[in-house]
């Protein structure tokens, strides 16, 4: 690993000022589970690291007027164990619980996961189906936008070099809605997703028809995506196996999977169909009985 300078910031303003001062040679570091691996592999060589783990504004999980706010520095272990996340956004807790091993979950943060913009990141699909907002802090203060707009391409976010992800907010109107996350990898645990998926499902009161379904997929396109064609197809359709099969087929059309060393595009398309059915059925199964 090449020599670098290290600064520890104790406020959002200080972190952003340091990043701006040393831009373009500086990067923020949170848990370091992604960044340090890439530095050790000589894939990136930042001259300055700004440690943001002591920035108080980026910590904590809280229910606010706007919704459920999860600070970017909250670790996957904390997300997975949080009673608030488990109650109001169970798929988000499940997604964080599926990340790496216990050591990775104890260090790796939700913010680091999202900003890394790796197409297979596990935290994205569940947050996308809950229409989460990203709160970003920069030299001009805070701005907020739909989380979908954070993802620009593989390892490319929409943040400027001196901007930091402060938190994500799951809007109040989506809290407690039935959701499910599922991930398929080459092993049952400690695995990077070949495909991951999440659904948020609403039905008519009799539970015979879908009223609205939001579906998101990871590792099947340059960024995590919503499967809008499948979502539009499902609205108003009966809850039936053939409908789920067609939704899976349409979701595969929404995606742009590639062949790589982990799996072929064709296999990923097959997995999209399987996981689409799995997450929709999982969300339905979590609903109270009619």
Ligand X SMILES: Cc1cc2nc3c(=O)[nH]c(=O)nc-3n(C[C@H](O)[C@H](O)[C@H](O)COP(=O)(O)OP(=O)(O)OC[C@H]3O[C@@H](n4cnc5c(N)ncnc54)[C@H](O)[C@@H]3O)c2cc1C
List residues binding ligand X (CB under 6 A): 27-35, 37, 52, 72, 99-100, 104, 107-109, 111-113, 115-116, 121-122, 159, 164-165, 192
31 or 178: whose CB is closer to ligand X? 31
Structure tokens at 143: 């701005």
161 or 286: whose CB is closer to ligand X? 161
110 or 213: whose CB is closer to ligand X? 110
Residues 106, 278, 75, CA angle at the centre, nearest 5°?
Answer: 10
Helix axes 265-285, 241-254, angle to 10 degrees: 130
Residue of this chain nearest to ligand X (CB atom): 112
96 or 203: whose CB is closer to ligand X? 96
Query: Among candidates 176, 287, 281, which has minimal Cα distance to 239?
Result: 281
Q: Whole-number minimum distance, CB 158 to ligand X, in Å?
A: 11
CB count within 10 Å of CB 239 equals: 18
Task: Answer left, alpha or beta for residue 176, where phi above 0 means left and psi between -120 and 50 means alpha.
Answer: left
Q: Whole-number minimum distance, CB 244 to ligand X, in Å?
A: 26
Q: Whole-number minimum distance, CB 275 to ligand X, in Å?
A: 15
Q: Whole-number minimum distance, CB 84 to ligand X, in Å?
A: 19
Q: Whole-number minimum distance, CB 272 to ligand X, in Å?
A: 18
- The DSSP code for 109 is B
For residue 184, CA distances in Å to 102, 145, 197 come to 19, 29, 9
Is the separation of the CB atoms in 99 and 110 below 8 Å?
no
31 or 257: whose CB is closer to ligand X? 31
Q: Whole-number minimum distance, CB 227 to ligand X, in Å?
A: 19
Query: How far is it, in rounded angstroms, from Cα 180 to Cα 197?
Result: 8
73 or 251: whose CB is closer to ligand X? 73
Query: Among candidates 214, 203, 210, which has minimal Cα distance to 126?
Result: 214
Structure tokens at 128: 């996308």
């Amino acid at each position: 690993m090449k020599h670098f300078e290290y600064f520890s910031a104790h406020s959002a303003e200080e972190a952003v000022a340091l990043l701006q001062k040393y831009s373009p040679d500086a990067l923020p570091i949170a848990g370091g589970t992604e960044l340090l691996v890439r530095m050790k592999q000589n894939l990136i060589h930042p001259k300055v690291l700004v440690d943001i783990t002591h920035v108080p504004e980026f910590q904590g999980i809280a229910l606010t007027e706007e919704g459920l706010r999860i600070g970017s520095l909250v670790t996957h272990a904390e997300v997975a164990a949080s009673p608030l996340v488990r109650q109001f956004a169970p798929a988000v807790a499940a997604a964080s619980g599926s990340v790496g091993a216990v050591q990775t979950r104890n260090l790796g943060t939700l913010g680091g996961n999202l900003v890394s913009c790796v197409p297979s990141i596990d935290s994205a699909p569940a947050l996308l189906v809950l229409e989460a907002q990203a709160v970003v802090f920069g030299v001009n203060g805070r701005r907020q936008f739909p989380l979908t707009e954070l993802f620009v391409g593989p390892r490319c976010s929409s943040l400027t070099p001196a901007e930091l992800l402060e938190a994500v907010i799951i809007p109040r109107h989506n809290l407690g809605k039935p959701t499910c996350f599922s991930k398929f990898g080459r092993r049952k645990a400690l695995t990077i997703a070949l495909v991951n998926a999440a659904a948020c499902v609403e039905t008519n009161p009799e539970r015979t028809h879908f009223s609205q379904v939001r579906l998101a997929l990871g590792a099947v396109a340059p960024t995590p995506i919503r499967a809008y064609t499948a979502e539009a197809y499902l609205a108003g359709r009966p809850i039936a196996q053939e409908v789920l099969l067609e939704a899976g087929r349409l979701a595969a059309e929404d995606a742009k999977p590639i062949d790589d060393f982990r799996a072929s595009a064709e296999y990923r398309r097959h997995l999209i169909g399987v996981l689409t059915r799995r997450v929709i059925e999982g969300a339905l199964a979590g609903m109270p009985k009619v």
